[in-house]
């Protein structure tokens, strides 16, 4: 009988240990995905796969639209501002650390700063902007000058020259009427696009 009690006690202790350890051993729930339908934009609208009406394809980390549509309000303005540039074509690409295509912190939004499974809350990684536009170069009211501008932006942490946390590491500006042709600036810095042959400008 004593052996039976010892065996029952041993089984009970083992079962209790497993039950208490189960939550700690449980797998972290998977991150919510766009296809799951639970992630929303800043206005509370569900984000879907593919391009939306503004030009965002969050699954692909890509935007193809205009400055006007980049603020997710089609009103002929860019964040409430007007100007000749508002209708310029804008294409953006970004890394997962800039803006992920998942929600791992269960706030119903795409994660910013997702690095090694940890959500930082601020965009990290890199972003590119490619702008194609026209402007009035001689003041006669016609859109007679054409330009392109390509910019690489990386997160550098507090103290960055752009938005206090970022740096422009390369800009290619082509504007024949303005006298700009090709590489405008390039800096050698760790991160996106670094090559040993870079020059500082």
Q: pLDDT tens track of the chain, all 201 residues? A: 444 344 443 443 344 344 444 444 445 558 999 999 999 998 899 999 999 999 999 999 999 999 999 999 999 999 999 999 999 999 999 999 999 999 999 999 999 999 988 999 999 999 999 999 999 999 998 999 999 999 999 999 999 999 999 999 999 999 999 999 999 988 865 545 444 333 333
Does residue 123 fall inside a structural domain? yes
Does residue 77 fall inside a structural domain? yes
Query: Into how many domains does the chain fold?
Result: 1
Does residue 200 fall inside a structural domain? no
Tell how many helices (H) and how many strands (E) occur in the chain.
Answer: 2, 11
Does residue 24 fall inside a structural domain? no
Does residue 15 fall inside a structural domain? no
pLDDT of residue 87: 95
- Confirm if 85 and 147 have CB atoms less than 8 A apart: no
Coil, helix or strand at residue 35: helix
Percent of the chain's residues with pLDDT above 70: 79
Sign of CA dihedral 68, 74, 77, 79: negative
Q: How many residues does the chain have?
A: 201
Dihedral over alpha carbons 69, 71, 75, 78 (to 10 degrees): -100
Rounded to whole angstroms, the Cα distance separating 172 from 182 reads: 5
pLDDT of residue 186: 87
pLDDT digits (tens, 9 = 90+) for 117-134: 899 999 999 999 999 999
Does residue 11 fall inside a structural domain? no
Sign of CA dihedral 114, 158, 191, 89: positive
DSSP secondary structure letter of residue 174: E
Does residue 22 fall inside a structural domain? no
Domain span at 93: 33-186
Does residue 12 fall inside a structural domain? no
Mean pLDDT computed over every residue of the chain = 84
Rounded to whole angstroms, the Cα distance separating 174 from 135 reads: 13
The pTM of the full predicted model, rounded to 2 decimals, is: 0.78
Rounded to whole angstroms, the Cα distance separating 135 from 156 reads: 33
- In DSSP terms, 170 is beta-bridged to 152, 186
């Amino acid at each position: 009988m004593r052996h039976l009690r010892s065996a029952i006690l041993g089984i009970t202790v083992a079962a209790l240990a497993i039950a208490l350890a189960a939550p700690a051993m449980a797998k972290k729930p998977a991150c919510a995905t766009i296809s799951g339908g639970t992630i929303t934009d800043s206005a509370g609208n569900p984000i879907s796969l593919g391009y939306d009406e503004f030009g965002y394809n969050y699954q692909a980390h890509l935007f193809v639209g205009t400055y006007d549509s980049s603020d997710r309000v089609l009103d002929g303005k860019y964040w409430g501002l007007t100007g000749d540039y508002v209708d310029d074509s804008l294409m953006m690409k970004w890394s997962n650390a800039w803006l992920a295509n998942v929600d791992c912190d269960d706030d119903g939004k795409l994660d910013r700063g997702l690095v090694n499974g940890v959500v930082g809350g601020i965009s990290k990684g890199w972003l590119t902007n490619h702008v194609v536009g026209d402007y009035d170069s001689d003041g006669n009211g016609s859109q007679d000058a054409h330009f392109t501008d390509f910019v690489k932006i990386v997160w550098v942490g507090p103290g960055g020259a752009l938005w206090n946390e970022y740096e422009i590491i390369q800009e290619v500006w082509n504007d024949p009427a303005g006298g700009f042709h090709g590489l405008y600036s390039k800096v050698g810095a760790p991160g996106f696009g670094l090559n040993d042959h870079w020059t500082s400008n």
